[in-house]
Structure 1
Amino acid sequence: MERQLLVAALAGCMNPDPQIRIAAEHALQQAKFAPGQLHGLLQVALDGAQDPAVQQAAAIAFKNGVKQGWDAEEGSRFSAEERAAVRAALPEALVVAGAATKRQLREAVKLVVYTDYPHAWPGLLGELCVGLKSLDQARVEGTLSILRVVARKYEFKDEEDRLPLLEVVNSTFPALLALFQSLLASDSGAPELAELLKLVCKIFWSSTYMEIPPPLASGEAVAAWMACIRGVIERPVPLELMPADPELRDDWAWWKAKKWALHIAYRAFNRYGSPDLCTEPADVAFASAFKRDWALPLLQACLGQLAGLAQGRYLAGRACNLILQYLTQALAFAHTWKALKPVLAELLPAVIFPMLCFTAADDELWREDPAEFVRKGYDIVEDLHSSKTAAMNFLLELCKARPKGTLDATVQHMVGQLVAYRAAGDAAAGPEAVRRADGACLALGTLAEVLKQKERYAAALEPMLLQHVVPLFASRHGHLRAKAAWLAGCFADVRFADGQGRGATFAALLQRCVAALEDPDLPVKVDAAVAVRCFLDAVDEEDLGDFRGLVPGLLTRFLQLSQEIDNEDLTFSLETVVERFAGDMAPYAAGLTAHLVEQFWRIVREEEEQGEGEDEEAEGALAAYGVLRTLSTILDAVSSRAPELYPQLEAALLPLLERYISTDGQDVFEELMQIVTYLTYYGGGISARLWGLFPRILACLDEWAPGHGTFLATKHPADLLALTNRSIERALTGDGYPVDQVACAARLAGVVLQHCRGRVDACVAPYVTLVLRALVGSEDEELTCSLLLLAADLLYYDAALTLRAAEPAALGPLFVALTRAIEARQRRDDPGARSASSVLGLAAVLALPEGAAPAEVAAGAPQLVRAAVRLLVAIKGQEERLEARAAAAREDEDFDPARHAPADAAARPPEEEESDEDEDRLRRRLGEDWSDDEDDEGSDWWSDEEEAEIQSPIDAVDPFVFFADAMGALGAASPARLQAVMGALEPALQAAVQGMSAYAAQLKLEQAAAGQPQG
């Protein structure tokens, strides 16, 4: 498009006449990838003679053209000549462009650099070196902008891919350091200077993110760069130029420059504060120089900033947050703690405590937007940047790591604030006393875990709660009522005079939290709801009956509150009520499910209406996750007590599942699979509509979710079986799948064989091939065991068909691996859950008619018997141990711990119990094959307890009876062969075989007497 026509088309896009505007947009769209069009747009964007609106339109069109055509999958839409012309013009463009145009061009530069540097733009590095030495501020800024993009490109790359960055550092950092020093030497307060300082800091940050490049590891380099970083931190801010609007202050260029310098200081201290924790030579060298020369000076620089804050000077929240993180890190090292300790007496009351107090900004947000106040209070991302959270973390770490002299002083100060507030009276207390009382409550709640573990404080917690916290529930100040509920929740699990979760004080606090659910202020209600969860978690199972009367009211209030605000913690409180009072949920299950599904759809609608901003999207995903998790809890609660409700619950859940078992549900796919697992397992049958989800699930597994799966065990139509096998094959033969996902695929194949015995003969040969191929390259115990269990399932399904499908040369190694795995488990005295399937597989081979098994397998019959008997002995021993344990538990039911407790037991603080209720519930209910990370023996792939409730057709097959029948069939068909097998066994094993046969006969008699099917 000619220059004149291009300008006219760009201007036409802003014409109020819709016909002209549409025509202009169509013309630009048609010429988007025409030769010379992209370069022409860049020239118009830089033409100062043009209307600024036309320039801006040209810049946007240029940026979009680069996005859409520079690195297209089928190749660039622009010629090599035009691309070269654009690259040549971009550095100068960032110098001459206006501010609005420059913002668009920077995005285009990023795309070009990420695509073309260094292979197609080798001259860029030289241009950057020249630009860093320029005396033209605009050129320096443009150069720094591009250098920042280059460094950012390699920020997260692995070592090999970062090699071009080393060349960049070698070439540009000497000039960059000189520029940094000259900028700091200027006494200008102009924001443009701050922008340049910020860019230099960001370049250093990105270039050192993964490791310290060798050129920066020498003592001289560390000294020079850290001196500059310290200079930025300590540089006085021209406060007279700071924006008057508080909302704009933290985005002011000078505070951003300080923020990035503090980022670098904290990361250097956190990552390189101790050379002993570093491994790479460059990192060790940097850490040695930093610890020796710069940890203390940077600490002093941070303390200097806080001293200004104590004197009333403004300090940006993000800068304050990073300074406090640096101080928290300083607590870990003797030399920095020695320097920090003397200033604590002034720092704590003058700086740290005021940060904990309720502020005017808090009060304004509370009144004007209570929902936003709640969101900020429960948002983890907000916590990362919050100066208040950083102050809480510093206080907690101080009292944990350096309690001597600090914990007592801190507690005394906080209690003193509450005493002063109580003495003044709620009605007469002034604003400052109210604010400080709020801060004291926050500090005490922050220190809750420390105080509960210290005996001298644990005994005083109950009087403190009665004296200072209970009255706050009646305060006229909403934020104090909220803090009372929050603080009560923090101490809900203390051991009161009547015990944990018991007594008058516990009941009084809980009742006040329940009453606070009807408070007029939304934040109070949310904090109360979270506190109620803490109280319910603190009650022992045997005492829950005392609180059963609260359930209907809690459910009603939680559901009403969820209509006012979507909050993940509120949903978890509802989930706790459902889980702890699972036996009472049947009457409420349908209503709760309908409400939660409606809430889920509301969250989705709100997210769609608000757009796809990162913060809103993350918040919505968390809320949706909480809703789905609670739905799973409801399904679990009624699974054994009211399974007849499942069809009704399924009907409410299916629309949600049908939409989000797709790419739309990637963020919550695991929670969706958990719901499907409950519906398929406990629903008493899989409906046609529920079956309709199965192809969707398999499509997701194939496309983007290979690590997920569920338990679908009933009739397998042929098309669904084909989809299942495709997913299994993909996992077992594909590259790049995590080991646990490959093992899961092997287990899924075993499910198919067990549930479709006699109906999936066509699967046997492919499964055998997959097992043998995967075993060859398997070096992981979990995967090997899963493959061997699949081999056992194949043998039990049809031993003759399986053996015919295998290559003869592979059979020997397969059975050797299987018997060795059994021997290894026996040495650990760990027979495991799926031992039975292994016994069935081995016995199925022994039961084959003579001549049906290959010669090498038939010759190994004694080894198969030996392995099967060892498994059966281990299973029997495990059964006896479990029965003994159950008997001991029955005896303990009459045991009164109070009568046998040591005399000092009441004075002891309660032991911490680390448990994950969700994990425990899933282990108990769904038998997921989760391993204990602390188990040196690898994953518990055979754990009986984990799979106790996952029913399979082989559960009805007694391994002792099946083995005895197999040995009987062997003897009936060929007595000589049986005699040869028995003769090859050790006397002890011969006796064990006979004992197993006698035990099997006894089991048959018992089954017959009970009217059960035998074998």
Structure 2
Amino acid sequence: MDLQRSLYSIFSSTLDANPNARMQAELDLRKVEGQAGVLAALLDIVASAEADMGNRLACAVYVKNRLRRCWVVEESAGQASSSTASSGPPAIPAQDRPTIKARLLPTLVACPPQLQTHVAAGLGTVIRADFPNEWPDLMENVGRLVNSNTPQEVYGGIRALLEIVRSYRWIDDSALMEPVVAATFPTILATGTQLLSSPEVDSPDVGAIVYMILKVYKCSINSQLSQHQQSNESIVSWGKFLLQVASRPIDPSKLPQDEDERQISPWYKAKKWACFTLNKLFSRYGNPSQLPSNLASYKPFAERFVNTFAPEILSTYLRLTEASIKGETWLSKKQVHFLFRYYEECVKPKATWALLKPHVNTLVQSFVFPRLCTRPEDEEAWDLDPSDFVRSHIDAIDSFGNPDASAASFLATIVAKRTKASFMPQLQFVTSVVQAYPASRSPAEKGGALAMCKAMDLTMLNHEKVSTSLEEFFAQYVIPELTSPHRFLRFRACGLVAAFGSQMAWRSSAALESCFSGVMSCATDTEELPIRVEAAAAISALIDHDSVQAAMAPNAARLMQELLKLSDELEMDLLTEAKSKIVDKFSEELMPFSVQLVEQMKTSYMRLVEASLASGETAADGTHEYDLNDAEGDKIFAAISALQTIYSVLTSCEGKPEMLAQLEQSVLPLVAFTLEKDAIELYDDTFDLLDVLTFYQKKISPGMWKIFEMMCQSFLNGAGIDYLTEMLSTFDNLVSYGTDVFRENAEYRRLLLGIYEKAMSSDQLSLGDQISACRLADVILLLLKGSVDEAVPTIVASVLPHIAEGAAHTTPALRKWSVLVLLDALVYNASLTLQTLESLGGSGATQRFFTLALGTVVPKFTRVHEKKVTAIALMSVLSLSPEQMPQAIRAGEVQILQSLLADLKSIPEAIRKQQEAEEAFEDELDDDDEDDITGEVVNEDDDEDDIRDEDNEYLELLAREGARLRAQAARAAGGSSAADTSGLSGAGADEDDEEEDQDDDDDEDLIYESPLDDVPVFEQFRQLMGHLASSRADLVGKLDAGFKSQIEEVAALPDVKVGGDDEEE
């Protein structure tokens, strides 16, 4: 009790207005937090109704965070071993753990809702760590609460059950979920059903319990549907319950009068989850024609569901929709969203389409259309916060879940997927509305009709009968509204130009000119922020047309200034495409202003980042934790947009070294600022700027070397440890174009090698990071020949474990790169590398390496770079005197020579394939714009059958990839197969694994400039054979006539540069 009083006093002081008192309280808390009994005493305070609510809340938050950080012993141990161990929290005493478990459930029951959230989160941490093995009686205790006659205990039991289900929700293992579901779900269903027939059914307390029951069920079906839930008895009972909750009218007197409060009231949250769950049961498990292969086991359930239960859901939803249209019931925004989502899911399966089809016209014209018309709340939102209006009405991410966006998505789907039955009636309806304006239709209704057009844009553009009349439609009904006195009509008209403008065939130059003029007026003359944003998107669409480009060219710099100003106002990333397109189309016109533009964007970028740093939280490691779901996230995305636009400016200056040098002076302070602030979310785009600056200039400035030092420190000692892959291209360029500096500067070499060593040895990094480290070693060994002798043993030692027989903790891609690095080391210094291999690998190490490399890995090399490394490495080995060769090499010289011949023979074909790939890549880039403009003609055949489209293909792709990754993880957990080492030509047993991802990274390097591109390997081979003929008669004498004939054939091949002509005349 003394401990509890002491803790109560400490937590009271943490809320004191006096900062000195708060600081002392925090110091006092640190002194006692490791003592036995502290967490149990705090839970007693949280549960005490007599304690001050502020104290109880502070204690609940502390307990939650303490459990999250310290309950799992491994995590605590990891903290203790870190550099911040002295400031880390002490471990939870072992003797406290049973007591804490015993107190958590009673505390959860005793808490009011504002405390339950924190206690439940702490409970969830313990459940994920200890249930079921270390907490076997948890289910029994939860079951006792759920079966109680006391509402507070029932609610607490269901809340605890939610944490149990949450701990399994992303685990696709029915063996874990099945017993929990079978033991508790019938009970909570019975509780819910009983509540729906109780006299107090409309009360918020009942709504809260029903909401929690549905949340448990919803979490249980995220990744799987248990056998119990698939049974007819379960799905029928739960289905009836869900439909009752979704459709049940609630006494208005029991609900808040304010609509915003009603949206989040317990009963409407319950209705939201009822609709969500019904939709999920259908879309993921109950739709047989749309099931991907990884869910094929649900086919029998799906067949039952689509024929017996899906129609009931549709019927219920249609009744709700009809009542809403007539004003007989009120639906929350989330309910409306989920109704539209279900209707959309019903479009592709023929069974549900047949039921939905008769109602489509009514749904669109009486339910979709009113939602797309301007309403008073839209005007109010525009006036209250224009930026927030843009976020909710234009930004695709923020509009997800918005009922208006869902209505538009449903319309887009029906006209695209069921064109024959649905498209023309909706188009006729739109035409009737715009023709009746302004005589009998309001501006809001015309805006709704234009919004419907935007939703149907792809179908209208690709429909043979409609696409040819679009220009006339725009001239009559859209372009005039660009100068409308009604701001919403200007907003809608700009949005329509943005959607159609680039892909329409403008036959009349006058119409296009009029459209462009109206859009420019909206972009520059109006003070209405949403209109200017949509106008910017419209300009981005129109500049694909030559005549618009010609008209805009003289004003490109002014327009770019307007976009930059708009970006600063908006602090979102919606204008990235428009800015990048203008930079791309008008690079010459913008060239004189490039430095000014980049300076402006740098200033905006730094301001946005500073504002984000001023808010949010700082993590334990000192890095900033951004909340990407609020305005702070918008600022970060806007900062990323600024970086991407700067990148576009830099790429437009390719071949202009003087301009790049000037721009670098603006960019480097921005990069230094990002690194100093540990703004890791921005590292990826920031390092892209360094990559393009170093690659295009082909030289390294003094300022860039300072950035190199900062990058190294960030990786070695700061927040950048997870960003080696993003840094890699810049490091590659620094070594490639700053070779002499590295040769002269030992400290720079030490930093570079330190990065490699840390990446290969840190437990914090992944196998993918080790591949990046190998890529770094590749360029170091090939370009710094003779300058890093001391590093060769370390590099060889670090890659050997990934090459060894039966190596665990590796992947085929990492094994391939490890072999390549060892071959690089042979290129660097064959004698030193072989000595190291013999000393580190023990008896037979050299033979084992060459067996694996030449028998399994090297034959699967595809890139020219890899093949040249192999050729030069093998020639370096064969150039050694017999005295410098280990016994295994001397015994296998003929096999090595045979592998060399095979590798050299394959180089011309590899060069040809790389050239073809580069040409195909360029052609693909050239075709992108044309592909965007010319869509497929709408197909109106088979309008009544099941539809499988690109969405299904994508889901199937994800399913196959998930299966592959799970299989790969299972193999890795079981260890790798041992390789056959019977001789230098042996083959490994992991061939299938190797095939899966042997060349995962090959497609990344179509424009890779290899340090060996200019190396004449065939000339070197001819020189080698001359050397062997004069000094190694013993070896040459072993070769038969056929072998010598192969040598002559290879020696006659010319050296050809990748992407060029023969090197030899």
Q: TM-score, normalised by structure 1?
A: 0.83
Structure 2 residue aligned with 1:295, among 307, 310, 314?
310
Q: What is the match of residue 1024 of structure 2?
A: 966
Output the amino acid matched with 2:516. L
Partner of 2:873: 841
Residue in structure 2 matching 1:220, options 233, 249, 262: 233
How far is 1:483 from its partner?
1.6
2:404 match: 388
Secondary structure class of the residue paired with 2:1013: helix
Partners in 1 of 2:486 and 2:634 — Cα distance?
29
Q: Does residue 862 of structure 2 align to residue 856 of structure 1?
A: no
Task: Quote the residue 2:827 is aligned against.
Answer: 796
Query: Take 1:196 and 1:1003, find their aligned partners in 2: how far apart are those partners?
Result: 79
- After superposition, residues 618-629 of structure 1 pair within 5 angstroms as 618-629=633-644
CA distance in 2, matches of 1:257, 1:239: 16
Structure 2 residue aligned with 1:696: 713
Identify the residue that residue 632 of structure 1 maps to in structure 2. Answer: 647
Amino acid at match of 1:855: R
Aligned to 1:344: 360
- Partner in structure 1 of residue 186 of structure 2: 174
In structure 2, the residue matched to 1:461 is: 470
How far does residue 785 in structure 1 lie from its aligned partner after superposition? 4.7
CA distance in 2, matches of 1:986, 1:303: 83
Q: CA deviation at 1:167?
A: 3.4
Structure 1 residues 105, 967: CA separation in 2 closer, same or farther (over 3 Å shift)? closer
**Counterparts of 1:70 and 1:885, CA distance in 2:** 52
Question: For the residues of structure 1 that align with 2:528 and 2:142, how far apart are their CA atoms?
Answer: 57
**Of the candidates 740, 745, 758, which is equivalent to residue 786 of structure 2?**
758
Q: Is the 8 A contact 1:69 1:76 kept in 2?
A: no
For residues 526 and 382 of structure 1, the distance between their equivalents in structure 2, rounded to whole angstroms, comes to 15
Q: Residue 497 of structure 2 is aligned with which of 477, 488, 497?
A: 488
Higher mean Cα deviation, 5-14 or 116-125?
Answer: 5-14
Cα distance between partner residues in 1 of 2:362 and 2:596: 56
Decide whether aligned partners of structure 1 residues 856 and 351 sit closer, same or farther in structure 2, where only a CA change above 3 A counts: same
Distance 1:389 1:800, change over 3 A: same
Q: 1:507 to 1:790 in 2, by over 3 A?
A: farther
* Residue of structure 1 in register with 2:153 after alignment: 139
Comparing 69-78 with 58-67, which one deviates more in the overlay? 69-78
Work out which of the residue numbers 219, 222, 235 in structure 2 matches 1:209.
222
- Whole-Å Cα distance in 2 between the matches of residues 548 and 725 of structure 1? 49
C-alpha separation in 1, matches of 2:656 and 2:17: 65
2:56 is aligned, of 55, 58, 61, to 58
Distance 2:612 2:195 in 1: 45
Q: How many equivalent pairs are there? A: 944
Pick which of 135-144 and 318-327 moved more. Answer: 135-144
Among 580, 592, 609, the alignment partner of 2:597 is 592
Q: Which has the higher contact order (CA 8 A, sep 6+)?
A: 2
Farther off after superposition, 273-282 or 293-302: 273-282
In structure 2, how many angstroms separate the alpha carbons of the residues matched to 1:5 and 1:737?
43
In the alignment, which residue of structure 2 is the partner of 1:644?
658
- Which stretch has the larger CA shift, 480-489 or 794-803? 794-803
Range with greater deviation from structure 2 (767-776 or 236-245): 767-776
CA deviation profile, 1:419-450 (whole Å, cap 9, x unmatched): 222x54xxxx8xx6211111111111121112
Q: Which amino acid aligns with 2:1043?
A: L
**Correspondence 1:184 to 2:196:** yes
AA in 2 matched with 1:467 = Q
Greater CA deviation, 866-875 or 817-826? 817-826
2:890 paired with 1:874: no
Q: After the TM superposition, which residues 395-434 of structure 1 pair with which residues of structure 2 at under 5 Å, given as runs?
A: 395-421=411-437, 423-424=438-439, 433-434=442-443
- The structural deviation recorded for 1:373 is 1.0
Tell me, in whole angstroms, the C-alpha distance in 2 between the residues paired with 1:959 and 1:22: 70
Among 683, 693, 700, which residue is 1:679 paired with?
693
Match of 2:537 among 524, 530, 543: 530
Identify if the C-alpha distance between structure 1 residues 320 and 506 changes in structure 2 by more than 3 Å, giving closer, same or farther.
same
Instruction: Tell me what 1:246 maps to.
Output: 259
Q: Quote the residue 2:136 is aligned against.
A: 122
Which stretch shifts more, 182-191 or 408-417? 182-191
CA distance in 1, matches of 2:100, 2:111: 15
Q: Residue type matched to 1:631 in 2?
A: I
Query: Are the structure 2 counterparts of residues 535 and 543 from structure 1 closer, same or farther at C-alpha, using a change threshold of 3 Å?
Result: closer
Tell me if the contact between 1:833 and 1:947 (Cα under 8 Å) persists in the aligned partners: no
What CA distance in whole angstroms lies between the structure 2 residues aligned with 1:18 and 1:58?
20
Structure 2 Cα separation of the partners of residues 310 and 793 of structure 1 = 72
C-alpha change, 1:68 and 1:339, in structure 2 (3 Å) is same
Match of 2:65 in 1: 67
Whether 1:578 and 2:577 are equivalent positions in the alignment is no
Given that residues 195 and 206 in structure 2 are in contact (C-alpha distance below 8 angstroms), is that contact kept between their aligned partners in structure 1?
yes
For 1:833-886, what per-residue CA distance to the aligned partner results, in whole angstroms no more than 9, with x for missing partners? 554444433444454456554413533364155225413543676799899999
Which residue of the other structure, out of 264, 271, 281, is the alignment partner of 2:277?
264
Q: State the alpha-carbon separation in 2 of the partners of residues 137 and 11 from structure 1.
A: 31
Does the CA-based 8 Å contact 2:796-2:836 persist in structure 1? Answer: yes
* Counterpart-to-counterpart distance in 2, 1:12 and 1:417: 66
**Alignment correspondent of 2:623:** none
Alignment partner, residue 307 of structure 1? 322
Alpha-carbon distance in 2 for matches of 1:189, 1:367: 36
Contact 2:823 2:873 (8 Å CA) reproduced: yes
After superposition, the Cα gap between the structure-2 partners of 1:544 and 1:823, relative to the gap in structure 1 and judged at 3 Å, is farther
Contact 2:542 2:548 in 1 (8 A): no
Residue 513 (str. 1) matches residue 530 (str. 2)? no
Offset at residue 983 of structure 1 (A): 3.6
State the Cα distance separating 1:534 from its structure 2 match.
Answer: 2.3
Contact 1:118–1:164 under 8 Å retained in 2: no
Q: Distance in 1 between matches of 2:122 and 2:447?
A: 49
> 1 CA distance for matches of 2:520 and 2:918?
43
Measured in 2, the distance between the counterparts of 1:509 and 1:40 equals 71
- Alignment gaps of 5+ in structure 2: 71-75, 78-88, 618-626, 927-932, 940-949, 951-994
Which amino acid is 1:759 matched to? Answer: S
Give the direction of change, closer, same or farther, for the CA distance of 1:248–1:801 in structure 2 (3 Å limit): same
Return closer, same or farther for 1:304/1:123 CA change in 2, 3 Å cut-off: same
Q: Displacement of 1:16 after TM fit?
A: 7.0
Whether the 8 Å CA contact 1:356–1:443 is kept in 2: the answer is yes
2:724 touches 2:772 (CA, 8 Å); kept in 1?
no
Question: Is 1:946 equivalent to 2:1006 in the alignment?
Answer: yes
2: CA distance between counterparts of 1:749 and 1:647? 29
**Distance 1:370-1:701 versus aligned 2 partners, 3 A rule:** closer
Q: Is the 8 A contact 1:324 1:394 kept in 2?
A: yes
2:73 matched residue in structure 1: none
- On the 8 A contact 2:813/2:998 being kept in 1, the answer is yes
Cα distance change, pair 452–833 in 1 and its aligned pair in 2 (3 A): farther
Does structure 1 conserve the Cα–Cα contact (< 8 Å) formed by 2:554 and 2:589?
A: no
3-state SS, counterpart of residue 661 of structure 1: helix
Against the structure 1 CA distance between its residues 495 and 291, is the aligned structure 2 distance closer, same or farther, given a 3 Å change threshold?
closer
1:524, distance to aligned residue in structure 2 (A): 0.8
SS at match of 1:383: coil
CA distance in 2, matches of 1:951, 1:582: 30
* Cα deviation digits, residues 260-304 of structure 1 (max 9, x gap): 111111111111123564657974554344234211111112222
Contact map agreement 2:777 2:821 (CA 8 A) in 1: yes
Deviates most, 276-285 or 702-711: 276-285
What CA distance in whole angstroms lies between the structure 2 residues aligned with 1:958 and 1:593?
A: 42
Stretch moving more, 337-346 or 503-512: 503-512
Where does the alignment leave 5 or more consecutive residues of structure 1 unmatched? 894-904, 914-934, 1007-1015
Could you say if the C-alpha distance between residues 876 and 849 of structure 1 is closer, same or farther in structure 2, counting changes exceeding 3 Å?
farther
The verdict on how the C-alpha distance between 1:812 and 1:461 changes in structure 2, with shifts beyond 3 A counting, is farther
